[in-house]
Amino acid sequence: MPQPLDLSASSIDITRAICDIESVSGNEGALADAIEAALAPLDHLDVVRDGDAIVARTDLGRDRRVVIAGHIDTVPLNDNLPTEFRTTDDGTEILWGRGTVDMKAGCAVQLKLAVDLVAPNVDVTWVFYDHEEVSDALNGLGRLARTRPELLAGDFAILGEPSGAQIEGGCNGNLRAEVRTFGKRSHSARSWIGDNAIHKTAPILATLAAYEPRTVTVDGLEYREGLNAVGISGGIAGNVIPDEAMVHVNYRFAPSRSAEEAVAHIRELFDGYDVTIVDLAAGARPGLDAPLAQQFVAAVGGPAPRPKYGWTDVARFSALGVPAVNYGPGEPVFAHHDDEQVPVAQITAVEDGLRRWLTA
């Protein structure tokens, strides 16, 4: 059984402690138990458990509420636990190991502040949720949004996704489509009898190669879109003309475009082809025009907010009408990397930024 969490320790040490409690998606129970056990005794928090998601709320009667959330699961291990403190060639002190970036350093900051901030200037809902790294249907935040949306109610939300300790507003939407072509099988020695479905994918690939993705300004942030083939399949045997082929297309679209508009765009581009939408997630506008967001940006300081190009769970808050941003320690390029690592200075920076804002 894992050691009880010592939340009087530094957020850096808490990061190491929760990373060393292995919690690959589907195995979050032990970490959820440890978080619940550490927060439940605190008089200033009302703690609710839903599956392996832990929600801890202040109830101070403030006129505004902020939701600060992070997922506690990780992708599978690859000889990268337990964690280690290391120093890079340029002298940067890092914590190395699975989960340090995505996204237990952010969760550790939340835990530290949940304990320390007995009377923040807004009511705060701290959310630690499960199953982010797997199927959308299993996502703990999505489950709460469907079954207990009152627990996620707020005026502003922050997701502790790795952002290099900088504020990243909103996120792009994400669409995946299968574009199919059809032909007729025949022996390759008599190919003129058949109709080659793989050859028919050429116009699809030409459309993708010629496509010029947009850069769209949304509430002051520039979101870069992308439309790409990410897979192609077809063929039966080395001597058979194939009767079916499929190009797997991924579309990252700016949050100014709705999910329905994104689907319509793809169907227009590939008019005449068999198009199946296999995954669709709307983006989220930056949320930086909300008064709480502006106060947050001022309190954090540093570089101006930038857009989040990938999809994150801020979109779930946006769908609930809650403006949301990403703000967490760790560089996104190290997420899921076998060499996952977070500069310890970024953990402290995020803690300091949130603390200043919640106590100003």
The type of residue at 198 is: I
d(CA 154, CA 66): 5
Q: Which residues are 96's β-sheet partners?
A: 84, 341
d(CA 193, CA 33): 65
Q: What is the 3-state secondary structure (H, E, C) of 275-320?
A: EEEEEEECCECCCCCCHHHHHHHHHHCCCCCEECCCCCCHHHHHHC
Active-site residue set: 73, 132
Angle between helices 11-19 and 344-359 (to 10 degrees): 120
d(CA 225, CA 247): 19
289: left (phi over 0), alpha (psi -120 to 50) or beta: alpha
d(CA 83, CA 105): 12
d(CA 166, CA 302): 8
- Residue 309 tokens read as 């190009």
Residue spans of beta strands (DSSP E) within the chain: 46-50, 53-57, 65-71, 84-87, 93-96, 123-129, 156-159, 168-169, 173-182, 186-187, 215-218, 221-224, 226-234, 240-241, 244-253, 274-281, 306-307, 324-326, 341-343
Considering only CA atoms, give the Rg of the chain: 23
List, as one string, the DSSP characters of 55-106: EEE--S--S-EEEEEEE--BPPPSS--S-EEEE-TTS-EEEESTTIIIIIHH
